[in-house]
Structure 1
Amino acid sequence: MSDVLIGVDIGGTEIVAGLVHDGGRVSARRSCPTPRTGGRDIVERANELVSGLLRESPEPVRAVGVGAPGTIDPVSGCVTSCTDTVPGWLGTEIAGPLSERSGLPVAVDNDVRAAAAAVALDEQVREFGRVLYVSLGTGVGGALIVDGRVLRGRFGTHGEIAHLITPEPGHLPCGCGRHDHLEAVAAGPAIAAAYAAGGEDAPALPEVAARLRDGEERAALVVERAGHLLGRTLSGLVTALDLDAVVVAGGAAGLGDPLLGPFAAALDAESRPPARTTPVLRPATPDTPVLGAARVAAHHSPEVVHES
């Protein structure tokens, strides 16, 4: 009998839950849009996904792990700090309601750090000592992996990159309200807003991606600019932290080479020494967020190093 866990990834756009066997195989998945009506409704949708997976699982489930946006109290499983990327999220109790409904232990950690802990196990990542994990979704998140482990820091913000200052402002404010932060130029909604600034229509990112695939010049220029600004903004970190590689994940990373090519070029052009080349990688599987959430459950605490 395999060890079965449920991993739940709560994103700004979508909630995804999966049955995870022996730490690495996802046998079933359920998902739904993330409600924009507050934390209670989000947890209720997550509860519904978990309940469905429990009915579907052919084996007993040991525990539930959740990756959630914001700063999470690892003891109470409550959101203690966040931006407005997810409305009504601050103060939301996640672990308690999920545990009460499922009857299982529930552990919660920040979604990006949870995913980074799973990425740290990828064969392509394990050969590097210092890796920056970058998540480009509804918001922008980051985590620092050192020798296979994710660092947290005293205030739980180690690797956080959303609020780094960018060379040019974005067309959509960061979750904190400022336009000169990385989230304002590189998050999925920010890229879509930059596209809309060039005309009357305002499509969501999937439509921008479709127009990009169709060869539309406007979409190509907008995506190229986002990648270029992402690279210029992160280049200082590459030098200051002496990074070996960068892993880019999330919905916006699905734009592929039109985004990641300019990102890698700007990253290397602005880094020091000028001759350095920093590998830009993608996660080995799209299930990384769910696997990371399950890993939180497996360890019953965030998979991190606490630094003083």
Structure 2
Amino acid sequence: MTAAARTPAGRPVVGLDLGGTKIAAALLGADGTVLARHSRPTPAREGAAAVLDALAAAATEVDPEHIAAALGVAAAGVIDPRTGMVTSATDSIGGWAGTPLGTGLANRTGYPVACDNDVRATAGPELAALRAEGEGHGSLLFAAIGTGVGGAVAVDGRMLHGTAGIAGHLGHVPSPEAAGLPCTCGAGGHLEVIASGPGIAAHYARLTGAPVDRLETVAARAARGDAHAVTAITTGAAAAGRVLGGLANALGPDRVVVGGGVPRIGPLYENALRDAFAAELMPPLRGLVPRAPAFGHDAAVLGAAALTTTLPLHRPGALR
């Protein structure tokens, strides 16, 4: 790893967003304009080397002339941006834990590479907007609730990374509603197993004895008045709201943002989360309301590209 360096002013930057199913790539101009886009499936079952190869190929698609000054990658898993390593990961990408993401990608592409967890990168534009608006001290609590529960925490304008890049993993905060349920991390009773999309679907199955294929099925049944579906959704939402409210008391954020696919199922979830969140707040924070993300589908690649200006750059040659 090199010391933190900065890309030359005025040069484009490549941004990559790596998920368990898809890789999104973009070439961004110095003003943030998207100059080219590309996406391809993630070879998640083919091993870490295949994933790094696919990331490199996606970068080449958006920057065939190699005009970019650097590459930023937002990746699934626990990412330590200082070492460039994937320090922990679920099995959504096979063999991903222990991958030298920064140097491995730098060696394949020839770019200096900055890397971080995908949720922290996605939260980056939210933090930048908060600072630009001059609202408070630039402290942000960001949650992404989907297949899992991820998050990011920024205090006084600085994104927190923590030991091994673990900071912000909100899904692994204990939740009373999840007591006794095993978590994907190997522990039990964590928020993710009751508040994520699969967690809500699993809770509905426990209530009814009938497995369901996905969260949207539970939401459709709730809309038709299925009391068990309503309970599963509001239990998961309230659990998330309580955890976020408690974290807000501990961190004092200027803004709380809740994104991901689960909140998009509608008002039943949103209202239960907001009510539970509000009930936890200490007096100085009353009036703080979770809001939806301000940035759309480009947030992750925009945030990935911005990593090249704030994080250490890993350069080619370190693993040769």
Shared fold (TM-score greater than 0.5)?
Answer: yes
CA-CA distance at 1:255 after TM superposition:
2.7
* 1:207-218 matches, cutoff 5 A: 208=218, 211=220, 215=224, 217=226
Residue of structure 2 aligned with 1:257, choices 250, 267, 286: 267
Hey, what's the Cα distance between the residues in 1 that align with 2:44 and 2:216? 19
- Partner residue, 1:281: 291
- Describe the shift of the 1:239–1:174 C-alpha distance in structure 2 as closer, same or farther (beyond 3 A): same
Q: Could you tell me which residue of structure 2 aligns to residue 151 of structure 1? A: 160
RMSD: 3.2
What does 1:179-258 align with in structure 2 at a 5 Å threshold? Answer: 179-197=188-206, 198=208, 200-205=210-215, 208=218, 211=220, 215=224, 217=226, 219-258=229-268
Which structure's CA Rg is the greater one? Answer: 2
What are the residue-to-residue correspondences of 1:24-173 with 2, within 5 Å? 24-37=32-45, 38-55=47-64, 60-84=67-91, 86-123=93-130, 127-129=135-137, 130-154=139-163, 156-169=165-178, 173=182
| SS of equivalent to 2:178 | coil
For the residue of structure 2 that corresponds to 1:145, the secondary structure is strand
Matched, 1:11 2:19: yes
Q: C-alpha displacement at 1:231, in angstroms?
A: 0.8
CA contact (8 A) 1:119 1:125 kept: no
| Secondary structure of the structure 2 residue equivalent to 1:264 | helix
Q: Which runs of 5+ in 2 are unaligned?
A: 1-8, 314-320
Q: Does 1:296 align with 2:304?
A: no
Task: Give the C-alpha shift of residue 160 in structure 1.
Answer: 3.0
Deviation at 1:33, TM superposition (A): 4.1
Q: Which moved more, 1:268-277 or 1:114-123?
A: 268-277
TM-score, structure 1 normalization? 0.82
Taking the aligned partners of 1:34 and 1:125, their CA distance within structure 2 comes to: 36
Q: TM-score, normalised by structure 2?
A: 0.79
Residues 158-216 of structure 1, C-alpha deviations (whole Å, 9 max, x = no match):
3332211111128974321334101112223323333444353532345556x379656
Q: Is the 8 A contact 2:177 2:235 kept in 1?
A: no
Cα drift, residue 281 of structure 1: 1.5
Displacement of 1:132 after TM fit? 0.6
> In the aligned structure 2, how far is the partner of 1:31 from the partner of 1:251?
20
Stretches (4+) displaced over 6 A: none
